[in-house]
Structure formats: structure tokens, C-alpha cells
Amino acid sequence: MSKLHTVNKSPFDKNSFDSCLTLAEDGSAVLLIEDGVYAAVAGGDVAARIADASSRLKVYVLGPDLAARGMAEDRIADGVSVVDYGGFVDLAEAHDAVHSWL
């Protein structure tokens, strides 16, 4: 079963992001949404964890939620792809199930 994992909490506030990375099966996708998008900003303490994960997981971030929080797309950590709402739908459609890490 291929899964799309979504994380909507800041990695600095809650451990949802770390738990997701720990338990997501190889080859699945992780989409950062809402306050979860802060994990994707380069230069922070979380970027290294994203880089490690990106070798076995596909990591995406929702562009409109980045823009809402004033984070420019050119500051996103390596290994993370920006998607729009249509891309969110495509990801949901392309996987067998969505696992939402609240």
C-alpha cells in the first residue's frame, strides 16, 4: 500500500514530523501542510533530517501554506518539492491512502 503522509504541525512544537519520518515506509510520500511547512525551510535545525529522509521518501510542501507564512519558495531545503492545491489532489489520487499525522 503506497501512502501519502501529511504533517500539519511545526516540527519545533510537536514531534509529529519526526514520528512520521520514523514510521513512514520507504518509497512513500510526505506532504508538509499548514504549520508543518516550517520543517521545509533551509538553514534550520530540521533541514538535515529532511535531507536524510529524502533518500528514501519523497518530500513535498504545500506552496500556498508557505506563502501564507512569508516563506519564499527559494528558501526550501534541498530534496523538497513545492506543490500547489492541484498537486495535493494529484498526490492523494496517486497513493492508496492518506495518513494524516496530527
Binding interface with another protein (CB under 8 A): 8-10, 12-13, 34-35, 38, 41-45, 47, 64-65, 67-72, 75
Q: Which CB sits closer to another protein, 35 or 53?
A: 35
Find the shortest distance in angstroms from Cβ 2 to another protein: 28
DSSP 76: B
Give the nearer residue to another protein in terms of CB position, either 38 or 53.
Answer: 38
Q: Which is nearer to another protein, 68 or 94 (CB)?
A: 68
Is the separation of the CB atoms in 98 and 4 below 8 Å? Answer: yes
Residues 6+ apart with CB under 8 A from 60: 29, 30, 31, 32, 80, 81, 82, 83, 87, 91
